[in-house]
Structure 1
Amino acid sequence: MKIDVTHIDSEDTQIHGLPSAVFKDSEIFQQESETILRKGWVSIASAQQLKNVGDILPVRMGDASLIAIRSEDQKISVFHNVCRHKAAPIIDKPCRVRTLSCPYHRWAYKLDGSLRSAPKFFGNSDRELTEEEKSDKGLIEVRSVVWWDTIFVNISGDAEPFEDFIKPLDQILEGYDSNDLHRISSTEYESKSNWKLAVDNFLDGYHVPFVHSQAVRLNSVMNQEDLFLSDNIIGLKLPSGASDKPAKTDKPLPTFKHLNKDNIGTQQWFGIFPNTLLFVDPVWVQLIIVRPEAYDFYTETLTIYAANPDTMSPEYDKQRETLSNVLNHVNEQDIELLDKLQITRTSPEADKGILVQAWDQVNVKFHQIWLEKMKQQ
């Protein structure tokens, strides 16, 4: 399908954003799966969701089925959730095991992905596979890293080194110690909308005081700063956002240790293209991982972290619960809106929408990044 780039590259003073067709076309989604979701660095889960040896988490990412595993050495690895015999899915829900067993023909795999056994591989013979014969029959591993408790994968295996990819964000987050992040909650969501709408909404500071008025005042977002860190990382910054907004809890929570004084009241949120949404507050962090599964359906995990280990003490039990409830309620409001937006944003009339210079520059950049990635086939 040919995409009309004039919507965002026009010399016209009016900018309309991506055309409605890209939010409802299955061919476009398949192209995204091949060009964006497989070739780039995409997030799939939070590392702290896999707390113990043998914890396994299956996820879908575009047309790929994956599993994240915490192995015997406490390392998290990611594999294709595809048996090496006839490509049956091995795991269909989160679990904890010592051996992975394919439900189809009972090929079994160790936590490091290597083949443990394949019953009656040689038919009517008692001979078993030798270690050498097993060596090329293990699960297919996916290139992966963990950063800020986020498991990133590069399915194609040929993206730039992750440290280069994330360097601009590492620089701006210097002084925030991600090693102190402690998970408060993880909540799963589904939306009957296009994944790009979720990312676009996260990067839209304009809607926040209107859709989430219970949590944010209008004057809190009036001094937002646009952040353009790289061709993959964009976001927004509120220099005094944490102090301007109503308190999420009735007792102040501890901030990041060693936090630079210039960031004491700062809130920043980032879209790490394509699907990682990170919100950094002085006392808490919110991570949303969007997993596209169809042109009109995605799943996501919302994980909320304490920025300081002291927050996990019993004296803050009520405050942690309140914080989690508030942030999840905000997310529920967004999901409800996006499910409705899928209907109207895919209508022909949506192509006449006009983006606003004062508020939508980060969204325009997101659309431009998407277009550039789609051209790189």
Structure 2
Amino acid sequence: MTGPLAGREPGVSLLPADAYTDPAVFAAEQSAIFENRWVWAGYTHWVAEPGSSRPVTVAGRPLLITRDPAGQIHVFHNICRHRGMVLSEEPSTRKRLRCPYHYWTYDLDGGLCGTPYWDRRKGSAPDDATKDALGLIPVTHAEWAGMVLVALGEPVRPLDETLAPLRQRWAPVDLDRLHLAAEDRYEIAANWKLVVENFLDFYHLPFVHPQVGPAAAALDIDDVVLAEDILGGCYPRGAAGKASKTETPLPAFGDVPAALRDRQDIFCLFPNALLFLEADWFQVIAFEPVTPERTVEHMAIFVDRSAAGPEFSDARKALSTVLFEVNDQDVPILERLQRGRRSPAADRNHLLPSWDQITARFQTLVASAMEGHR
């Protein structure tokens, strides 16, 4: 494949089967896609308390999310400035981070604060200029909708520009009111692109997830493309989530207009944040591509902060149960899709113009980003 769509017949999948299995393609994607866009790196609640930190990986790079004693979130390259050892491998609530190799120590704002026997004398330390120069190396980051987003390189566009279509569409929804209702981690034996494609595949819903409604409900979904890298669909009158309603309905995220109370939006924020939004709940399935055939999902379900009390515990549990059930049902589907990519016949997969328009757009986006990298 020398161009993004070279050699593909009309209707045939725009990405060849080996794009889902080849380690060389995977490595190129990490560079071409995950280092050149704003990508999900973690959740703000992972460092909920001042003095906490959590290691994460983006594009194969070890990073560290911290919240300093003043409550500010930082993201750093997770390596000691002395010999480059990974500094932290587990979530921590220690007020300082200490490298296990030579005990160099850092504050959670990245400042270097300890260098034992700097010049071979007890109590010696670098001068202030050297100390300042050897702090942890920061990573460009931002916080939005409970997520920590990072940019390892020069992103295609500024984050404000990237998020503007979602912020405009969701303006009536107060995403500052998010309260974590439930969270889980999934190990998926499948390529990251299949995770996204399955998320954007509304055709499978009545067959794999009958609890979200019959085929007629899937026919009610409108394809929506807000921007090149924000694509998905919308139930104008709601669908998934209805099965989770209880006698005590969950409150909405602020003053949501009645006309929007039944709408469900389903968007991929390319490349690795999959978002569901209804007036009273918000779900993120964010993921880390680990190998060509392994992806780790981090699924979080949020409700309005006014629904945090015990009077809403049954409603929160009912919502979480149905949403986790839907994701559980997708896991074996994804793994069978991945195994199918080992067949040469997978190069002839046929996209349907009546169902797969959004999948085709996603594949085109990937192929275009990869042009010149393969």
Partner of 2:73: 76
Aligned equivalents of 1:111 and 1:21: distance in 2? 42
Aligned equivalents of 2:241 and 2:367: distance in 1? 35
Return 5+ residue gaps in structure 2 as ranges.
none
Aligned equivalents of 2:95 and 2:7: distance in 1? 52
Partner of 1:364: 360
2:324 to 308, 325, 328: 328
Aligned equivalents of 1:218 and 1:35: distance in 2? 38
Report how far residue 239 of structure 1 moved: 0.4
**Of 128-137 and 229-238, the range deviating more from structure 2:** 128-137
1:46–1:151 Cα contact (<8 Å) kept: yes
Report how far residue 153 of structure 1 moved: 0.2
Report how far residue 121 of structure 1 moved: 2.2
Partner of 1:313: 309
- Note if 1:288 corresponds to 2:246: no
Partner of 2:38: 41
1:317-359 Cα shifts (integer Å, max 9, x gaps) = 1121121122112112212221222111232111111111111
Report how far residue 126 of structure 1 moved: 4.4
Q: For 1:22, what is the secondary structure of its paired residue?
A: helix
Aligned equivalents of 2:308 and 2:155: distance in 1? 39
Return 5+ residue gaps in structure 1 as ranges.
none
Partner of 1:58: 55
1:142–1:157 Cα contact (<8 Å) kept: no
Partner of 1:5: 5
Identical columns (%): 32
Question: CA 1:175 to 1:7, structure 2 compared with 1: closer, same or farther past 3 Å?
Answer: farther
Letter in 2 for 1:355: L
- Note if 1:161 corresponds to 2:158: yes
Q: TM-score, normalised by structure 2?
A: 0.94
1:60-83 Cα shifts (integer Å, max 9, x gaps) = 122211111111221111111111
Question: CA 1:230 to 1:47, structure 2 compared with 1: closer, same or farther past 3 Å?
Answer: same
Report how far residue 51 of structure 1 moved: 1.1
1:10-49 Cα shifts (integer Å, max 9, x gaps) = 4x3x232311010011111111111111111000111122
Question: CA 1:376 to 1:257, structure 2 compared with 1: closer, same or farther past 3 Å?
Answer: farther
Question: CA 1:23 to 1:3, structure 2 compared with 1: closer, same or farther past 3 Å?
Answer: farther
2:238–2:263 Cα contact (<8 Å) kept: yes
1:136-172 Cα shifts (integer Å, max 9, x gaps) = 1111110000111111000114542210111111111
1:62–1:294 Cα contact (<8 Å) kept: no
Partner of 2:345: 349
Letter in 2 for 1:81: N
Q: For 1:96, what is the secondary structure of its paired residue?
A: coil
- Note if 1:375 corresponds to 2:371: yes
1:230-250 Cα shifts (integer Å, max 9, x gaps) = 1111110010124x8642132
2:84 to 87, 97, 102: 87
Partner of 1:270: 267
Aligned equivalents of 1:125 and 1:181: distance in 2? 49
1:105-145 Cα shifts (integer Å, max 9, x gaps) = 21111000111112122225642122211111111110000
- Note if 1:202 corresponds to 2:210: no
Question: CA 1:313 to 1:57, structure 2 compared with 1: closer, same or farther past 3 Å?
Answer: same
Partner of 1:109: 106
1:87-106 Cα shifts (integer Å, max 9, x gaps) = 11111122211000112221
Partner of 1:228: 225
Q: For 1:141, what is the secondary structure of its paired residue?
A: coil
Question: CA 1:189 to 1:3, structure 2 compared with 1: closer, same or farther past 3 Å?
Answer: farther
* Aligned Cα root-mean-square deviation (Å): 1.8
Number of aligned positions between the proteins = 372
Partner of 2:184: 187
Q: For 1:89, what is the secondary structure of its paired residue?
A: coil
Report how far residue 206 of structure 1 moved: 1.1
Aligned equivalents of 1:181 and 1:155: distance in 2? 27
Aligned equivalents of 1:40 and 1:222: distance in 2? 33
Aligned equivalents of 1:106 and 1:208: distance in 2? 53
Aligned equivalents of 2:75 and 2:6: distance in 1? 39
Aligned equivalents of 2:209 and 2:142: distance in 1? 34
Letter in 1 for 2:51: G
1:3–1:19 Cα contact (<8 Å) kept: no
